[in-house]
């Protein structure tokens, strides 16, 4: 539409004016354009909804993957919880973007669709009722003026032709006076022709002026009728533009997450969790669970008991009674009793360097075999074993089984005589190596 406006502003006003016969069609075309623009807006919103969904899905997948890696990794305590809070942020933001998608499709697109259906009524023969009514209104308003215009154009043409004939006759008469071959009778006839042409020209001029006067008289009524029809078109366009503005404000409200209280809450909680990280508590926890603060059942003399196989010295008490839970190395609330899924006796590397290249994050730290957080036990290795004796787990990280039960050994026996295994119900934990045998 802007291109047509430029043409009106800078072109020949008499050839491109709204008042010219048939030039009302641009006003009628707005009905078709308005319907098409509704379709364009719905298509635009549907594409944005796909983007919001894809972004939300990517956030969820990213959060799930890294939550598993962090939980299996060497980080522990309150700093681990702070790191995991970033994953929680991603999950909650993903939900908000899914809400954006739903709002765009279920509210905004539906709102545009319903308004379009109410504003534009399709006809069986094609086109829209509103456009047809405007077309007929303009034709009716323009018909009398167009008839007068046609008559005026014909009178104008007749007058101009008469002027041309008069000019030619005058030229012939002037030439006849200078030529000796032209007789007096011929000169008289040329003079009579000039007089007749002048009379015809005068009559044509009077008729032209009269038709132009009649056209001018009906022009005000023509303009009034045309403006009435145009105003009706404008009223419909006002409704469309007003609706479009309101719809765009709704869209902005759905897209602008900063106006969503839940969005602000997510980052307040994330900041609170990160600020709650306590270095000294984490160091104390590590010392109590994997350092000098750990409980130790030092070796003592035990009598031989042929009826019961001896459990590894780590858990046995001096009198040979079943081991009881120890509170010395129980993790603080919210922590695990072991460092993620790493072995209890895992040797942690202290070779950290600030010179590591960004490429280290690409999964090449472990010889190119994956992320450094990934647990070796995820490779699927395992040996099936059968219990020789009943064993009741004494701590949360120990398994309980009956003689004859089968389980999967996932890690070999350590120097203290303990293995890590997995029951068929999926539970993992430690058990005495000498309580089972390979199948």
Q: Does residue 135 surpass a pLDDT of 90?
A: yes
Residue with tokens 């430690």, as numbered in its chain: 430
Whether residue 277 lies inside any domain: the answer is no
- 331 vs 88: which has the higher pLDDT: 88
Integer-rounded Cα Rg, in Å, for the chain is: 48
Mean pLDDT of 424-428: 88
Rounded CA-CA distance 42/48 in Å is 10
Rounded CA-CA distance 75/68 in Å is 12
Whether residue 279 lies inside any domain: the answer is no
Last residue of a domain, one of 175, 197, 222: 222
Q: How confident is the model at residue 15 (pLDDT cuts 50, 70, 90)?
A: low
Mean pLDDT of 262-278: 95
Last residue of a domain, one of 188, 205, 222: 222
How many domains are there within the chain?
2
Rounded CA-CA distance 25/236 in Å is 16
Got the DSSP string for 369-399? SS-TTS-GGGG---EEEEESS-B---STTB-
CATH number of the structural domain spanning residue 411: 2.30.30.40
Q: pLDDT tens for residues 287-314?
A: 998 899 988 888 999 888 877 655 554 4
Q: How confident is the model at residue 258 (pLDDT cuts 50, 70, 90)?
A: very high
Domain boundaries, position 164 = 129-222
Sign of CA dihedral 285, 291, 293, 298: positive
Whether residue 30 lies inside any domain: the answer is no
pLDDT of residue 325: 34
Whether residue 22 lies inside any domain: the answer is no
Rounded CA-CA distance 155/314 in Å is 122
Residues 6+ apart with CB under 8 A from 21: 142, 146, 149
Instruction: Among 134-148, 209-223, 357-371, name the one with the lowest average pLDDT.
Output: 357-371
Q: Does residue 62 surpass a pLDDT of 90?
A: yes
Q: Does residue 331 surpass a pLDDT of 60?
A: no
Mean pLDDT of 419-428: 91
Q: pLDDT tens for residues 345-404?
A: 343 333 334 444 444 444 444 444 445 444 444 444 689 999 999 999 988 889 999 999
Strands in 282-417 per DSSP E:
383-387, 406-411
Number of C-beta neighbours around residue 306 at 10 A? 5
Whether residue 163 lies inside any domain: the answer is yes
Q: How confident is the model at residue 185 (pLDDT cuts 50, 70, 90)?
A: confident
Whether residue 420 lies inside any domain: the answer is yes
Last residue of a domain, one of 199, 222, 245: 222
Q: How confident is the model at residue 187 (pLDDT cuts 50, 70, 90)?
A: confident
Whether residue 336 lies inside any domain: the answer is no
Beta carbons of 163 and 157 less than 8 angstroms apart: no
Mean pLDDT of 142-170: 94
Q: Does residue 409 surpass a pLDDT of 80?
A: yes
Rounded CA-CA distance 163/153 in Å is 15
Collapsing DSSP states into helix, strand and coil, what is residue 348? coil
Q: How confident is the model at residue 437 (pLDDT cuts 50, 70, 90)?
A: very high
Average pLDDT value over all residues in the chain: 83
Beta carbons of 308 and 268 less than 8 angstroms apart: no
| Helices 25-72/184-255 angle, 10° precision | 30
Regarding pTM above 0.85, the answer is no
pLDDT of residue 309: 55
pLDDT of residue 366: 45
Rounded CA-CA distance 423/402 in Å is 11
Whether residue 376 lies inside any domain: the answer is no
Mean pLDDT of 27-39: 96
């Amino acid at each position: 539409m802007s291109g047509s406006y430029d043409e009106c502003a800078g072109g020949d006003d008499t050839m491109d004016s709204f008042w010219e016969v048939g030039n009302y069609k641009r006003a009628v075309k707005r009905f078709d354009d308005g319907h098409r623009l509704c379709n364009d807006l719905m298509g635009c919103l549907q594409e944005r909804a796909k983007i919001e969904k894809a972004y939300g899905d990517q956030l969820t997948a990213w959060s799930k993957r890294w939550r598993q890696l962090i939980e299996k990794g060497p980080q522990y305590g309150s700093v681990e919880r702070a790191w995991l809070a970033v994953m929680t942020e991603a999950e909650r933001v993903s939900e908000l973007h899914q809400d954006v998608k739903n709002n765009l499709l279920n509210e905004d697109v539906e709102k545009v669709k319903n308004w379009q259906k109410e504003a534009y009524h399709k006809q069986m023969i094609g086109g829209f009722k509103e456009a047809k009514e405007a077309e007929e209104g303009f034709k009716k308003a323009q018909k009398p003026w167009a008839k007068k215009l046609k008559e005026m154009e014909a009178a104008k043409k007749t007058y101009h032709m008469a002027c041309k004939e008069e000019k030619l006759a005058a030229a012939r008469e002037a030439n006849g006076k200078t030529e000796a071959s032209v007789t007096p009778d011929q000169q008289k006839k040329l003079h009579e022709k000039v007089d007749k042409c002048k009379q015809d020209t005068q009559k044509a001029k009077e008729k032209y002026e009269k038709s132009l006067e009649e056209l001018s008289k009906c022009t005000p009524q023509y303009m009034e009728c045309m403006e009435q029809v145009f105003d009706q078109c404008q009223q419909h366009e006002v409704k469309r533009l007003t609706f479009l503005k309101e719809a765009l404000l709704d869209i902005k409200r759905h897209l602008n997450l900063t106006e969503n209280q839940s969005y602000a809450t997510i980052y307040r909680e994330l900041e609170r969790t990160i600020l709650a990280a306590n270095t000294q508590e984490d160091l104390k926890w590590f010392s109590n669970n994997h350092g000098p603060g750990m409980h130790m059942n030092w070796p003592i003399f035990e009598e031989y008991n042929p009826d019961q196989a001896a459990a590894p010295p780590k858990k046995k008490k001096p009198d040979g009674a079943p081991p009881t839970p120890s509170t010395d190395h129980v993790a603080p609330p919210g922590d695990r009793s072991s460092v993620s899924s790493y072995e209890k006796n895992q040797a942690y590397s202290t070779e950290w360097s600030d010179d590591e290249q960004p490429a280290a994050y690409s999964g090449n730290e472990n010889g190119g075999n994956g992320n450094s957080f990934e647990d070796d036990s995820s490779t699927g290795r395992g040996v099936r074993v059968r219990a020789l004796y009943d064993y009741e787990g004494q701590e949360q990280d120990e398994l309980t089984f009956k003689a004859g039960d089968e389980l999967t050994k996932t890690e070999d026996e350590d120097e203290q005589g303990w293995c890590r295994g997995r029951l068929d119900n999926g539970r993992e934990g430690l058990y005495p190596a000498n309580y089972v045998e390979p199948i």
